[in-house]
Amino acid sequence: SWMEGRSTPMIFSACVREWNNVTFSDIISTVEFNHTGELLATGDKGGRVVIFQREPESKNELFSQGEYNVYSTFQSHEPEFDYLKSLEIEEKINKIRWLPQQNAAHFLLSTNDKTIKLWKVSERDKRPEGYNLKDEEGRIKDLSTVTSLQVPVLKPMDLMVEVSPRRLFANAHTYHVNSISVNSDYQTYMSADDLRINLWHLDITDRSFNIVDIKPVNMEDLTEVITAAEFHPHHCNLFVYSSSKGTLRLCDMREAALCDKHSKLFEEPEDPSSRSFFSEIISSVSDVKFSHSGRYLLTRDYLTAKVWDLNMESKPLETYQVHDYLRSKLCSLYENDCIFDKFECAWNGSDSVIMTGAYNNFFRMFDRNTKRDVTLEASRESSKPRAVLKPRRVCAAGGKRRKDDISVDSLDFTKKILHTAWHPTENIIAIAATNNLYIFQDKLNSEMH
């Protein structure tokens, strides 16, 4: 089993992105593999998108599984100003979603708080030469000097990666966009903000259809907001969205044009004995992900990760404690605003293991079959290539402490793993730790179960 013993078969592959002088704009805000796992995109608070490409496997190196190197970098969004509302619009990339590859080019959607853009990423390794009406520098020739016609030819050139904007989807969201999700029909996608979800066609930029609207007539009656939304991986009519009240709503677009009335409501009854001032804050769902099979939902709230069966609405199928030792620290976490951090979660390719982040640059993995779990650390101190990650253990306040255990009081809450991604088929994971991107891979076992 992959969790037996004091070490795991997750071996450090590459710390592929580091900045020595950290600025606010360098902080990574989203991480996403494409559908094959050959490309990995990150977005940051400076509006930049960096794409990494997996190198071909080397037969000479025993441990080489193809490392990820920078493929292309481009500025996706710029800071803007809404003059009507006197509001600054940050350039920060909130989400990136890849479209399935249809031809030699790759396409991805990126969004900031207001505007979604479709980008085309393509390669060029040939250039045309021998034009009749242009010279080598592209200037138009004097027609009187053209005495014969020649057929232009394509000549080899150094590989060039070109990134070009293809569509701009704007002016559809009053509130901040928190999610985008591409539909399984590959023609439409949805974007969600705090109170509304819109459905777009990838070829139509001047209009979208509002499919969910939870804005009350009187904003004083507002009790919850939308926190995340995602399409079903196989059924193009189904989607789910989560709320700040800890609920999940599964909607079917075949039932009505406006899906304000959900098909299913997933909600865990609250234990009255454990209710406190922080109950509603920590129950807010920060991320929701369909399993690859489409049968399950994975959600993350502040202290737990939960797996829901689409056929059982009354309670989660599985609940995993991510950092229950923080329950006694909620007051101080509220005062320093950490209690509002939004952690993401991820499935492995076979839906048997889930992953999510924590504080102190720790991230957690839970094996659904064996019920084993492990805490690992993404840090520059342990970033020697090929180093095996050692499991870490946090000792609760007043608990019995063993060697190498870390006390809750010594955790660094400024170091947090909010954004993670798992390769769609292999045991390769990407972890964003502030301004560094870490990639870990399982060298000893091709399956994590």
Q: What CA–CA distance (Å, rounded) separates 188 from 118?
A: 12
Handedness of CA 87, 89, 94, 95 (dihedral sign): positive
Mention every residue, 6+ apart, whose C-beta is less than 8 A from residue 308. Answer: 248, 266, 296, 297, 298, 299, 316, 317
What is the mean pLDDT of each successive set of 10 residues along the chain, which is 449 residues long? 39 47 83 95 95 76 69 94 86 96 93 96 82 77 80 80 94 94 96 96 95 93 95 96 96 90 90 82 96 97 96 95 92 94 96 96 94 89 71 76 80 94 94 91 53
Q: Measure CA 185 to chain center.
A: 21
Amino acid at 142: D
Q: What one-letter code names the amino acid at 144?
A: S
List Cβ neighbours of 128 (8 Å cut-off, separation of 6 or more): 152, 153, 154, 155
Other Cβ atoms less than 10 A from the Cβ of 145: the count is 7
Q: Give yes or no for a contact between 189 and 202, defined as CB atoms under 8 angstroms apart.
A: yes
Torsion of CA 181, 185, 187, 191, to 10 degrees: -20
Residue 152 and residue 67 in contact, taking contact as beta carbons nearer than 8 Å: no
pLDDT at 37: 93
The C-alpha atoms of residue 56 and residue 53 are separated, in whole angstroms, by 9
Output the six-digit token pair for 328. 């006694």
- Write out the two tokens for 2: 């992959």
d(CA 76, CA 42): 11
Q: Residue 272: what pLDDT?
A: 80
Q: What is the pLDDT of residue 7?
A: 37
Answer yes or no: are the C-beta atoms of 379 and 392 closer than 8 Å: no
Q: Specify whether the CB–CB gap between 308 and 320 falls below 8 A.
A: no
Token readout for 219 is 């904003």
Determine the Cα–Cα distance for residues 289 and 268; give it in Å rounded to an integer.
17
Q: Which residues are 106's β-sheet partners?
A: 121
